[in-house]
């Protein structure tokens, strides 16, 4: 971003604001600072603590594990804090030879405080109070000359001091989670057993929101809101399994089972305004006329019956098959049940006679499988025809046609075919190569409906998507001795995506305000006007006209300087989802010292850098700081400039100039650890092991992307840091 | 023994397996009903359905619904700190496109409420479907829905179609949707067809609301409100005789009086306790009407207390349009009451701020006015303007003069003649901020020459400058006098033709 002097100079030569304007508006009012706003609004050094303790023990018939852990993290936004405490215990017992019982319990408490005034860029408006603070003009000082400290409540220019704000804005969400499972296994005979497992996973959460009345902005009137959510999932699974493993030639097992899952979510909230005394700020303290309450409840249930069988012949040929019938309460009454199945085979080639003697082949397997599965991941009650409440008038709650029915709503289906070859050769090189073909049909999508119908969208089973690709994992031991080793590992995924079918028989759907389109026969693509650069002769921005017959096939034949989103939108050639993901790592050790360096990369990734719409658009955002690069704009003497002639009042548009190559290579994880040598530990009688660790996350990134974080998996990046650099020092003690 | 225990365990497990849960789960916050079945089954349903359409009606008034027309035209300049709020609308440059989110919202908000009106009208269409004992209440509610639907279609056709032209029965308006149909992909009806539908709905409303007498600040529709809407309708379709007659029907009830002192005018808007509202929709802090806050955008500052941070400031033309003693100028504009924050500095007394919608203190907490006022869909002043315009258009100049003079006298303004330009100027002064300016200019076939800013805003660098800001001139044939059909809607419904100037 520009400094004060750079911005004033740029404004003047670009014809945006004259020197006199800057003098009158800023300098004459005492605003002649050169403030780097992110230094005041972002926190860059954020300590993080974690403690874990666990104890295991038991005897012949009972085993137990108890543990506790604690975690604390501060975020880069002022006021953001996360705390978590976890307790867990596992007990297993075998009171009879034929009876096994056990119970696992864990309890978690966590508390999240998130600065709610920490906004970003959305659509065509910006809010500079949070992560986009760097857009604030540098002329304004952050330090009050009268006190020599930061302005207490708000800085000149109107940005609030977040430290004071968060001291007056109480906003914790606390959550108490309880998870437990209990199981019983009865062995009727050594080969036949019945297992029954019951589980509960639930939480109670509460939110407290308070804006204190004496905060300078509130005019003596605070508000408070509270909410509580209660949620649990209970499940019960019964299985009966028969195993036959007495023969060398043939082994098999068959299993039949049944499962019930029930989820209950219950929420209420209340709020009030006009709390006047900062010392008592309960919901009962405010003005009853401003009370608002809300309640909602949702339940869902799933039922499944399933069977599984596997069969091994001679330890070389393994076959397995399964079938399951699943029902969900979310679907239409006649469409609740879905039947899914799978079958697979594996050939352990190494065990064949012809390979047994090939010493350099340590292991070699060929696998193939095909299976179908279902997905019910949508909100509840979407199939029903509903009258809902909403819209109050004169104290009476409104009733209206809230949802049209879709009795055909049913399971989304996925069919997956995989073929894989795995193995190890020369004692040091292992590999896993898998090809897959994954077809998703009857996709559960919120299908947009014309506004004239009166509803925005409806969940339907529409469309089909095909993903095919390869997954490769390779490992290589560079060397391995008694005292040291060095290992290299790499993973690679190539995925080809193809839309096979859309809703309403259409062959293209551009999703509003996302720049993304689904087009039959193509991967999910970015569709936008294509920026063609600056006209050398006029200094105006230009765009490629779409192929008049077919906007899906980009020709870039003709250019125009008239912008119209609807006329210019076309296939940009950029894929929404990157086709190549991968990573590689080196791990090694020498005596007590060990390290792991883990890199990951994504290639062919593109993102819309929405923030650039603001920081490189000096006419439209004439009261925001700008990126230094915009100084390179068209003039008669600089016809090859990157940016158009600002002096003509040019504004930048939402087009491909915002789509950037966000491919990257990143050092995700670097770990270095040192364990004290045994010779020293032997002298410390009460301790077995002492280990010092250093962990660094996201320490190095290589990318062409100019926005904040290339790793963000989104179509439009909106000024929020996603993956921050982290450094951790650790101490691990074993007693 | 061992075997027995084993089987008891097995039996317990088997029992647990059979206690399965119900898969036919129903929501607790909604009523499930068979499509095609009786929608409104009880008198409680009926009063709740009425509450919904009333709330719908309130949702499409005030706030954005008013702001769009005023910031698009010649009464307001964007302030230097307006942060691109309503930017595309204000500039109406290339960024004012068929993908504009404000236009999209205006379109879809109206069709969403029309869906509710339609469901209600159709649910009560047949006598057999009206819950016993509620016949008269049902008739009234149906009348309300007809009136709301007429107004919703009038708003749509005014914005998305050209002016009504008696000789052009081909010009495209908006699709008429009268029944819920999930699979309908309607084409645009002609402007004539839409106005015919509006008339039919108005006639139905008049029939069902005939006995609902008007009263000051009625919070439900009355026959006077229906007549006020008739007046708008007849003005649009250039039936000036009926326009004047409809407006006069409301005026001659003498239930609504023009405020003729600064105090009364202040009560009318600031406190929502005036004498001019033919309808004034219920509002409270829980049921907050839409905020019209862009003109004031107040906040509490550290040094100067409650201040303006206006996003839009009145133009020189607007300020100059008022004569010295005009009470509207003193009540609706403020120069010295509060400081205004501009570019980090605070000024008072340099320029005027528009405060007609400062905020009713009963509708906000604390001491920072928030621009929330009760919605007044129809004011008696508009009836004088419609009557005067209709008279003037019939060349009844003396009549028009006497009608407009009543309004001018009440406001302490200079009395004008009854020529059409006089009436038009009075519309500008009187209805500022009410979301009528663009419709008026369009009806008159007029544009505007630039938006010269108040001198004080220029010297304080308080407004955006440039060809599309203070320099924006709009000719009468500017494409933005007909809004684009939202691009998204056209992608979903290929039967919708786009308006000229917005692409294919």
Task: Name residues 306-335 of chain B within 8 A of A (Cβ).
Answer: 306, 309
SS3 labels along B180-247: CCCCCCCCCCEHHHHHHHHHHHHHHHHHHCCCCCCCCCECCCCHHHHHHHHHHHHHHCCCHHHHHHHH
Q: What angle do CA A516, A519, A524 make, to 5 degrees?
A: 45
Q: Which residues pair with B344 in a beta bridge?
A: none
SS3 labels along A600-615: EEEECCEEEECCHHHH
Helix (H) or strand (E) holding B12: helix B2-18
Q: What is the CB-side half-sphere exposure of residue B1 using CA atoms within 13 A?
A: 1
A525-528 sheet: strands from edge to edge: A508-511, A516-519, A525-528, A570-575
Query: How far is CA A13 from its chain centroid?
Result: 43
Q: Which residues in chain B touch residue A184, judged by CB atoms under 8 angstroms apart?
A: 9, 13
Helix (H) or strand (E) holding A679: helix A678-681
Q: Do A393 and B87 touch (CB under 8 A)?
A: no
Structure tokens at B169: 């029965």
| Strand boundaries in A592-676, DSSP class E | 593-603, 606-609, 659-661, 664-675
Structure tokens at A698: 């996201």
The answer to whether B88 faces chain A, any CB pair under 8 Å, is: yes
The answer to whether B1 faces chain A, any CB pair under 8 Å, is: no
Q: Which residues in chain B touch residue A26, judged by CB atoms under 8 angstroms apart?
A: 343-344
The answer to whether residue B196 scores a pLDDT higher than 90 is yes
pLDDT of residue B45: 94
The answer to whether A731 faces chain B, any CB pair under 8 Å, is: no
The answer to whether B51 faces chain A, any CB pair under 8 Å, is: yes
Contact (CB, 8 A) for A121 and A134: no
Most confident of the ranges A30-39, A335-344, B17-26, B89-98: A335-344
Task: Name residues 590-629 of chain A within 8 A of B (Cβ).
Answer: 619-623
Structure tokens at A180: 């437990």
pLDDT of residue A123: 45
Task: Name residues 131-190 of chain B within 8 A of A (Cβ).
Answer: 175, 177, 180-182, 184-186
In Å, the largest CA–CA distance within chain A is 96
- Give the number of other Cβ atoms within 10 Å of residue A496's Cβ: 12
What is the rounded CA–CA span in Å between residue A694 and residue A75?
A: 20
Contacts of A150 (CB under 8 A, 6+ apart): A40, A142, A143, A144, A161, A163
Nearest 5°: phi and psi at B128?
A: -65, -20
The answer to whether B112 faces chain A, any CB pair under 8 Å, is: yes
Q: What angle do CA A261, A267, A271 make, to 5 degrees?
A: 170
Q: CA quadruple A473, A474, A479, A480: dihedral positive or negative? A: positive
Q: What is the CB-side half-sphere exposure of residue A554 using CA atoms within 13 A?
A: 19
**CB-based burial label for A29 (10 Å; 0-12, 13-18, 19+):** middle
**Best to test chain B binding among A129, A150, A221, A399 (most B CBs inside 10 Å):** A399
What is the rounded CA–CA span in Å between residue B119 and residue B116?
A: 5
What is the rounded CA–CA span in Å between residue A593 and residue B25?
A: 58
Q: CA quadruple B333, B345, B359, B440: dihedral positive or negative? A: positive
In Å, the largest CA–CA distance within chain B is 113
**Best to test chain A binding among B51, B60, B484 (most A CBs inside 10 Å):** B51
The answer to whether A300 faces chain B, any CB pair under 8 Å, is: yes
- Search chain B and give the residue with CA nearest A286: B365
What is the rounded CA–CA span in Å between residue A164 and residue A146?
A: 18
The answer to whether B33 faces chain A, any CB pair under 8 Å, is: yes
pLDDT of residue A510: 85
Helix (H) or strand (E) holding A369: strand A361-375
Question: Closest partner residue to A399 among B45, B284, B486, by Cβ?
Answer: B45
- Give the number of other Cβ atoms within 10 Å of residue A649's Cβ: 17
Average pLDDT, rounded, for chain B: 93
Percent of chain B past pLDDT 70, that is, above it, reads: 96
Which 3 state secondary structure label does DSSP give A396?
Answer: strand
* pTM for the structure as a whole: 0.91
The answer to whether B87 faces chain A, any CB pair under 8 Å, is: yes
State mean pLDDT over B162-167.
Answer: 97
Which 3 state secondary structure label does DSSP give A523?
Answer: coil
Structure tokens at B343: 């570019």
Average pLDDT of adjacent 10-residue blocks, chain A of 735 residues: 95 93 91 90 78 86 93 87 95 92 96 83 58 88 92 87 92 96 93 94 96 89 96 95 89 95 96 94 92 93 96 94 97 96 97 91 96 96 95 96 96 98 94 98 94 94 96 94 93 96 89 86 94 94 91 90 86 94 95 93 93 90 91 95 93 92 93 86 77 87 86 76 72 77
Nearest to A276 by CA among A337, A211, A330: A211
Domain ranges of chain B: 43-280+377-492
Nearest to B22 by CA among A381, A411, A239, A303: A303
The answer to whether A451 faces chain B, any CB pair under 8 Å, is: yes
Q: Do A217 and B299 touch (CB under 8 A)?
A: yes
Contact (CB, 8 A) for B141 and B49: yes
Contact (CB, 8 A) for B392 and B420: yes
Contact (CB, 8 A) for A571 and A554: yes
pLDDT of residue A549: 83
Band of the pLDDT at B16, cuts 50, 70, 90? Answer: low
Contacts of B452 (CB under 8 A, 6+ apart): B315, B316, B317, B470
Length of chain B, please?
504
What is the rounded CA–CA span in Å between residue A608 and residue A713?
A: 11
Contact (CB, 8 A) for A181 and A198: yes
Distance in Å, alpha carbon of A426 to nearest chain B alpha carbon: 51
Contacts of A506 (CB under 8 A, 6+ apart): none
State mean pLDDT over B302-314.
Answer: 92
Structure tokens at A165: 């704000």
- Search chain B and give the residue with CA nearest A402: B30
Name the class of domain B43-280+377-492: mainly alpha
State mean pLDDT over B150-165.
Answer: 98
What is the rounded CA–CA span in Å between residue A486 and residue A488?
A: 7
Q: Do B185 and A450 touch (CB under 8 A)?
A: yes
DSSP H helical segments within B73-216, as ranges?
87-91, 101-123, 135-160, 191-208
Nearest to B68 by CA among B101, B107, B102: B102
The conformation of residue B325, written as its DSSP 8-state character, comes to: T
The answer to whether A157 faces chain B, any CB pair under 8 Å, is: yes
Q: Do B30 and A385 touch (CB under 8 A)?
A: no
Nearest to B82 by CA among B345, B282, B295, B245: B295
What is the rounded CA–CA span in Å between residue B392 and residue B401?
A: 8
Helix (H) or strand (E) holding A231: strand A222-244
Question: Closest partner residue to B177 among A291, A298, A452, by Cβ?
Answer: A452
Contacts of B229 (CB under 8 A, 6+ apart): B147, B150, B151, B154, B202, B205, B378
Give me the torsion for CA of B142, B53, B59, B202, rounded to 10°.
Answer: -10
Q: Count chain A–chain B contacts defined by CB atoms under 8 A.
A: 301
Nearest 5°: phi and psi at A354?
A: -70, -15
Structure tokens at A233: 């999932």
Contacts of B71 (CB under 8 A, 6+ apart): B78, B86, B89, B90, B294, B312
Query: How far is CA B225 from its chain centroid?
Result: 15
């Amino acid at each position: 971003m520009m400094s004060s002097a750079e911005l004033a100079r740029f404004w003047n030569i670009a014809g945006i604001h004259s020197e006199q304007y800057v003098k009158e508006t800023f300098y004459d009012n005492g605003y002649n600072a050169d403030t780097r706003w992110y230094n005041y609004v972002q926190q860059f050094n954020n300590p993080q603590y974690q403690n874990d303790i666990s104890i295991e023990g038991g005897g012949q018939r009972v085993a137990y594990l108890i543990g506790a852990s604690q975690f604390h993290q501060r975020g880069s936004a002022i006021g953001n804090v996360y705390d978590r405490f976890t307790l867990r215990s596992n007990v297993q017992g075998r009171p009879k030879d034929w009876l096994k019982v056990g119970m696992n319990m864990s309890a978690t408490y966590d508390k999240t405080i998130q600065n709610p005034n920490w906004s970003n860029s959305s659509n065509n408006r910006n809010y500079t109070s949070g992560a986009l603070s760097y857009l604030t003009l540098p002329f304004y000082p952050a330090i009050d000359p009268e006190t020599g400290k930061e302005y207490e409540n708000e800085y000149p220019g109107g940005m609030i001091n977040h430290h004071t704000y968060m001291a007056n804005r109480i906003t914790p969400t606390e959550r108490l989670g309880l998870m437990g499972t209990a199981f019983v296994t009865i062995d009727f005979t050594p080969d036949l057993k019945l297992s029954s497992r019951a589980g509960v996973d639930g939480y109670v959460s509460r939110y407290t929101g308070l804006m204190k009345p004496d905060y300078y902005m509130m005019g003596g009137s605070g508000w408070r809101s509270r909410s509580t959510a209660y949620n649990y999932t209970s499940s019960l699974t019964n299985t009966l399994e028969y195993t036959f493993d007495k023969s060398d030639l043939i082994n098999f097992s068959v299993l039949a089972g049944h499962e019930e899952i029930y989820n209950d979510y219950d929420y209420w909230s209340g709020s009030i305004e006009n709390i006047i005394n900062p010392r008592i700020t309960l919901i009962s303290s405010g003005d009853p006329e401003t009370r608002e309450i809300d309640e909602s409840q949702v339940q869902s249930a799933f039922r499944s019956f399933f069977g599984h069988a596997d069969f091994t012949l001679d330890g070389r040929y393994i076959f397995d098959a399964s079938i399951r019938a699943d029902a969900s309460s979310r679907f239409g009454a006649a469409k609740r049940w879905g039947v899914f199945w799978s079958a697979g085979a594996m050939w352990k080639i190494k065990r064949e006679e012809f390979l047994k003697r090939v010493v350099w082949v340590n292991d070699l397997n060929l696998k193939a499988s095909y299976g179908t599965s279902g997905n019910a991941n949508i909100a509840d009650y979407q199939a029903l025809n509903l009258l809902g409440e909403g819209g109050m008038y004169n104290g009476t709650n409104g009733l209206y046609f809230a949802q049209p029915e879709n009795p055909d709503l049913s399971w989304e289906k996925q069919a997956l075919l995989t073929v894989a070859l795995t193995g190890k050769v020369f004692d040091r090189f292992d590999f896993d190569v898998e090809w897959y073909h994954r077809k998703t049909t009857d996709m559960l999508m919120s299908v947009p409906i014309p506004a004239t119908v009166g509803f925005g969208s409806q969940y339907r089973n529409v469309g089909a998507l095909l993903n095919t690709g390869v997954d490769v994992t390779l490992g290589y031991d560079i060397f391995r001795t008694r005292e040291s080793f060095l290992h290299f590992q790499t993973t690679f995924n190539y995925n080809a995506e193809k839309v096979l079918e859309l809703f309403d028989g259409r062959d293209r759907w551009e999703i509003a305000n996302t720049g993304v389109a689904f087009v039959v026969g193509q991967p999910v693509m970015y569709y936008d006007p294509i920026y063609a650069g600056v006209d050398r002769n006029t200094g105006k921005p230009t765009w490629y006209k779409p192929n008049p017959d077919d906007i899906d096939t980009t020709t870039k034949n003709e250019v125009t300087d008239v912008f119209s989103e609807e006329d210019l939108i076309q296939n940009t050639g950029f894929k929404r989802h990157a086709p190549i993901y991968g990573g590689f790592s080196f791990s090694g050790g020498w005596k007590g010292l060990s390290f792991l360096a883990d890199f990951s990369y994504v290639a062919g990734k593109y993102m819309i850098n929405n923030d650039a719409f603001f920081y490189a658009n000096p006419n439209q955002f004439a009261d925001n700081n700008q990126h230094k690069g915009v100084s390179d704009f068209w003039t008669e003497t600089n016809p090859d400039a990157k940016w158009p002639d600002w002096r003509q009042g040019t504004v930048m548009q939402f087009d491909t100039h915002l789509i950037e190559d966000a491919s990257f290579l990143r050092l995700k994880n670097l770990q270095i650890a040192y364990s004290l040598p045994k010779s020293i530990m032997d002298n410390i009688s009460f301790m077995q092991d002492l280990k010092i660790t250093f962990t660094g996350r996201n320490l190095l990134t290589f990318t062409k992307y100019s926005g904040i974080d290339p790793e963000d998996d989104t179509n439009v990046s909106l000024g929020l840091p996603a993956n921050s650099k982290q450094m951790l020092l650790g101490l691990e003690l074993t007693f | 023994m061992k075997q027995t225990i084993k089987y008891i365990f097995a039996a317990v497990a088997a029992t647990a397996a059979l206690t399965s849960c119900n898969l036919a789960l129903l929501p607790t916050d909604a009523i499930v009903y068979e499509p095609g079945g009786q929608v409104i089954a009880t008198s409680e349903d009926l009063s709740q359905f009425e509450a919904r359409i009333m709330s719908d009606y309130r949702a499409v008034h005030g706030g954005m619904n008013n702001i769009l027309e005023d910031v698009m035209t010649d009464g307001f300049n964007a302030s230097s700190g307006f942060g691109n709020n309503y930017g595309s609308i204000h500039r109406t440059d290339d960024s004012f496109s068929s993908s504009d989110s404000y236009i999209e919202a205006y379109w879809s908000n109206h069709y969403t409420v029309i869906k509710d009106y339609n469901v209600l009208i159709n649910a009560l269409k047949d006598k057999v479907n009206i819950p016993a004992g509620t016949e008269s209440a049902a008739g009234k509610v149906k009348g309300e829905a007809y009136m709301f639907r007429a107004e919703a279609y009038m708003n749509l056709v005014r914005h998305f179609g050209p002016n009504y032209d008696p000789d052009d029965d081909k010009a495209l308006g908006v699709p008429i949707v009268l029944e819920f149909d999930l699979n309908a992909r309607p084409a645009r009806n002609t402007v004539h067809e839409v106005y015919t539908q509006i008339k039919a709905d108005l006639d139905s409303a008049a029939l069902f609301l005939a006995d609902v007498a008007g009263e000051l600040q009625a919070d439900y529709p009355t026959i006077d409100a229906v007549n006020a809407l008739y007046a708008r309708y007849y003005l649009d379709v250039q039936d000036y005789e009926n326009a004047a007659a409809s407006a006069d029907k409301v005026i001659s009830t003498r239930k609504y009086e023009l405020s003729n002192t600064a105090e009364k005018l202040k009560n009318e808007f600031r406190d929502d306790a005036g004498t001019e509202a033919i309808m004034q929709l219920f509002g409270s802090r829980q049921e907050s009407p839409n905020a019209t806050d862009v003109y004031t955008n107040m906040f509490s500052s550290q040094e100067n207390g409650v201040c303006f941070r206006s996003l839009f400031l009145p133009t020189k033309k607007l300020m100059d349009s008022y004569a010295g003693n005009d009470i509207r100028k003193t009540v609706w504009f403020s120069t010295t009451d509060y400081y205004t924050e501009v570019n980090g500095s605070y000024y008072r007394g340099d320029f005027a701020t528009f405060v007609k919608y400062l905020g009713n203190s009963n509708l906000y907490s604390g001491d920072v006015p928030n621009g929330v006022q009760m919605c007044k869909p129809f004011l008696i002043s508009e009836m004088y303007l419609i009557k005067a315009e209709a008279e003037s258009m019939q060349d009844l100049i003396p009549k028009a003069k006497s009608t407009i003079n009543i309004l001018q006298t009440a406001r302490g303004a200079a009395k004008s003649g009854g020529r059409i330009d006089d009436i038009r100027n009075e519309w500008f002064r009187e209805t500022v901020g009410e979301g009528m300016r663009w419709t008026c200019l369009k009806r008159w076939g007029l544009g505007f020459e630039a938006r010269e800013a108040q001198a004080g805003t220029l010297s304080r660098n308080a407004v955006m400058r440039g060809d599309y800001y203070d320099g924006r001139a709009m000719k009468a044939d500017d494409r933005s006098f007909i809004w684009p059909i939202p691009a998204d809607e056209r992608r979903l419904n290929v039967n919708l033709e786009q308006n000229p100037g917005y692409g294919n």
